[in-house]
A and B are shown apart, each in its own frame.
Chain A
Amino acid sequence: MRSAFPALPRDGCLGALQPRRCGSGSPLRPPPCCLPCARRRRRPPPCPTPTAALPAPCPPALSTEHRWRPTSRECPKHAALPECIHHPNAFEIQRQREARRKALARKRAEEQIQLRTPEPVEGREHVHVQTELYLEEISDRIIEVDVECQTDAFLDRPPTPFFVPAKTGRDVATQIEEGELFDFDIEVKPILEVLVGKTIEQALLEVMEEEELAKLLAHQRAYAELRNAELAEVQRLEEQDRRYREEKERCKQQQMEMLQKEKETMEKIAAQAFAKRYLTDLIPSVFNNLHESGFFYDPIERDIETEFLPWLMTEVEETLEKKTLGRVMLDSLIRTVTEKRLDVFSQKPLPDQVEAPAEEHRPTDNAPQVAAETEAADQAVTADEETDQPAAEDQASHHITFQSEEANQEAMEDSETD
């Protein structure tokens, strides 16, 4: 909304304008700032550009000190939105810039105008003079009369009165009763059908899925049972087969063992027969050999051979030795006797008769002794022939007895040689 500007004083002199008192101005419109007016001594020339058009968007006053803030045209409600404020601001800024540019241009123009006045000649000076018909009192202080005028407080634009065109046509009335336009029960049916249908469809899908699963499970179980039964059958048959095979193996094994045994038995029998035949000859030949080698002997014969005959021989030997011994003894006796007799004969002839009866006595005393001594001599002979000489020496004193003995021995020799 455009605020009405106060009319500028017509004399063109822009004095200091009092700040316009706006009673209840638009809260958004800032009060115009009052800048001190630059005193001009001379009347500023009328600005070259026409500035009469007041309702121009920006007051193109020459004195650019007064910076009119262009009022914001916007309604309060726009100011609330941040976006709308910016545009007028840019526009404002643009306007201000333009204003400044124009002001600068005018200033330059003014200065040029000012420079047209030539400098005063020497001794003279320029003086401001009024040249009008009627002199005016030029004083600093201008008679001012404060005149205020104030628009009314901002009133909202009154509402446009309702445009009520003139009534034409006919008046006709109509009325919609309840239930005519919209019947809930009828309208809701298709919606309900859809809702219920979809729900049931969803439920059906779920139930079908479960049923399908249950059927699959049942199918699987039936199949599993069949499979298990078949597997069990297979394993049973395998087991049976294994048993039969083992049985067969065992029978075969037994049979083979039996055959083996039979074979062995036959071989044994054959061997036995052969051995028997071989050995029939063996025993007689063995017996023959043994017989020939003298293992089978007649015990009596053996006995006679082993014991009797040696004994006999030894006895014979003994007897012979005895005889020999006797002979030897006798020989020695005779020798000694003869030696003694020789001695005696050589020494004396008397002692012969004394010795003869002593010798006669001695044979009778010595007869049992001789018998015992001959036995001893026999035994000594059988034991050791080397004792012959001592025995002979023992019996040296008994040399006479041997005479009788000699007679016996001679008798025995005779008998023996017979």
Chain B
Amino acid sequence: MASTLISAKLPPDVDPTKAPIAFGRRALPKLSREIQSPELLTQQRALMALCDLVHDPENVYQAVQIGFLENLKTLLLHHDSTVRQKTTEILYIMAMHNVGRQGLIQNAVIPVLTELLDDPEDICRKNTHQVLDMMAKLPEGAVDILHAGLIPLLVVRLKTESDEIQELILGTLSNCLRMEASEALATDAITILKEKLTHPSATIRNKAAQVILEIGTHPEGKSTVCEEVIPLLVSLLEDTDPEVQASAAGALMFATIKPKGRCLALRAEAIPRLLKLVAVENSKARLSAIKTLTMLAEVAEGRRKLLERTDIFQQCLRDPSEAVKRAAEIAIRVIRWKPF
């Protein structure tokens, strides 16, 4: 009679589309052999089974140890679309664990993924971009993506792909451009991003603003951003979505570091909107808004306008977040600074 105890193992499933899994440690080696078999059905079944197994981090570790990634690399270029789709899905799930990410970097999987960016199947492309997105979150992964020369390709695809994939691409770009922005600037990414800032979808606007933020952390990026994007960003400060507001405030934060950017922002009437953001108790936009106002207070004109409104900053001193308190103190100090 079956007992009511729940075991640690997954329930036995009689899914005919999956290959039967061997017991314990033998599961993955058997699947690795099946994957290399010449028959298509065996490969597909093995991939489906692997897809389920790989959700467990221990299996990910074991898979990386027994050299599964070499087989998966070969399968990425298979002619059958199901095989490719499943392989990319498996890589995505592996990339969600750090062990898997390290394994992907060591086995140089990313250059092979470049080939899949033009895959005719939507789902394969989506999975590929998901893998790249995950990889970019790791600094070494971002460096790897930069070395593989993927940035120009991704920027080009921003124009053509669907919305979902665009979000993924923007996420990848924002993490990679944190390292280095020169390639993106060379391919004129700013123009494309400007369009995205006015996209109907809020997530895309948010992510585009984040990419601009990351570009602005680099000196050469700052000048480009100053010239073209500041008015748009200031208008985004009044967007309906709070995330978008926060990202726009962050992007402005970096754009106003240079004196030129400060003047442009002041001329675009950024101060009232930023003050509105600071007054709201939402902490996401608050920190960035306070910082931006600090930047603007370095200019005499800004200081003049802000001297009247220091009460708002006094309010921020009572915020529960440590960072906001510090930022508010610095802001007050800068506003009250006099040249003599």
B55 engages A194 (CB within 8 Å): no
A209 engages B254 (CB within 8 Å): no
B257 engages A228 (CB within 8 Å): no
Q: Which residues of A contact B294 (CB under 8 A)?
A: 233, 236
A225 engages B287 (CB within 8 Å): yes
A202 engages B323 (CB within 8 Å): no
Given the known interface contacts A213-B96, A225-B250, the answer about A232 and B6 at a Cβ–Cβ threshold of 8 Å is no
Q: How far is the CA of A232 from the CA of B258 in the complex (A)?
A: 11
Given the known interface contacts A191-B2, A197-B6, A220-B137, the answer about A232 and B254 at a Cβ–Cβ threshold of 8 Å is yes
Any chain B CB within 8 A of the CB of A190? Answer: yes
Name the one of A209, A220, A225 contacting B55, with C-beta atoms under 8 angstroms.
A209
B217 engages A231 (CB within 8 Å): yes
Q: How far is the CA of A193 from the CA of B3 in the complex (A)?
A: 9
Any chain B CB within 8 A of the CB of A372? Answer: no
A232 engages B253 (CB within 8 Å): yes
Q: Which residues of A contact B10 (CB under 8 A)?
A: 198, 202
Any chain B CB within 8 A of the CB of A35? Answer: no
Contact with B along A178-192 (1 / 0, CB 8 A): 000000000000110
B258 engages A239 (CB within 8 Å): yes
With contacts defined as CB atoms under 8 Å apart, how many contacts are there between chain A and chain B in the complex?
69
Name the one of B3, B6, B288, B298 contacting A201, with C-beta atoms under 8 angstroms.
B6
Q: Which residues of B contact A226 (CB under 8 A)?
A: 287, 323
Q: Which residues of B contact A194 (CB under 8 A)?
A: 2-4, 6, 11
Given the known interface contacts A209-B55, A233-B291, A240-B298, the answer about A198 and B11 at a Cβ–Cβ threshold of 8 Å is yes
B55 engages A229 (CB within 8 Å): no
A225 engages B284 (CB within 8 Å): yes
Q: Which residues of B contact A199 (CB under 8 A)?
A: 11
Q: How far is the CB of B138 from chain A (nearest CB, A)?
A: 11
Any chain B CB within 8 A of the CB of A254? Answer: no
B11 engages A229 (CB within 8 Å): no
Near A by CB (< 8 A), chain B positions 176-206 give: none
Q: Which residues of B contact A197 (CB under 8 A)?
A: 4, 6
Any chain A CB within 8 A of the CB of B274? Answer: no
Q: How large is the interface on B (under 10, 10 to 19, 20 to 34, 35 or more residues)?
A: 20 to 34
Given the known interface contacts A190-B4, A220-B137, the answer about A229 and B287 at a Cβ–Cβ threshold of 8 Å is yes
Q: How far is the CA of A225 from the CA of B253 in the complex (A)?
A: 11
B291 engages A229 (CB within 8 Å): yes
Given the known interface contacts A190-B1, A190-B3, A236-B294, the answer about A229 and B288 at a Cβ–Cβ threshold of 8 Å is yes
Q: How far is the CB of B74 from chain A (nearest CB, A)?
A: 28
Name the one of B4, B11, B253 contacting A193, with C-beta atoms under 8 angstroms.
B4
Contact with B along A215-236 (1 / 0, CB 8 A): 0000010000110110111011
B284 engages A229 (CB within 8 Å): no
Q: How far is the CA of A329 from the CA of B257 in the complex (A)?
A: 120
Q: How far is the CA of A362 from the CA of B288 in the complex (A)?
A: 142
Name the one of A191, A201, A220, A228 contacting B253, with C-beta atoms under 8 angstroms.
A228
Any chain A CB within 8 A of the CB of B327? Answer: yes
A233 engages B4 (CB within 8 Å): no
Q: Which residues of A contact B327 (CB under 8 A)?
A: 229, 233
Q: How far is the CA of A202 from the CA of B320 in the complex (A)?
A: 39
Residue of A nearest to B285 (CB): A225
Any chain A CB within 8 A of the CB of B148? Answer: no
Q: Which 10 A-B pairs have the closest CB atoms?
A: A198-B11, A232-B253, A235-B257, A232-B291, A229-B287, A194-B2, A193-B4, A239-B257, A197-B6, A190-B2
A and B contact pairs by CB, cutoff 8 A, 25 listed: A190-B1, A194-B3, A197-B4, A199-B11, A202-B10, A209-B55, A225-B246, A225-B284, A225-B287, A225-B288, A226-B287, A228-B213, A228-B253, A229-B253, A231-B254, A232-B250, A232-B254, A232-B291, A232-B295, A233-B291, A236-B257, A236-B298, A239-B257, A239-B258, A243-B298
5 extra A-B contacts, CB within 8 A, seeds A236-B294, A239-B258: A202-B11, A232-B250, A233-B294, A235-B254, A236-B257
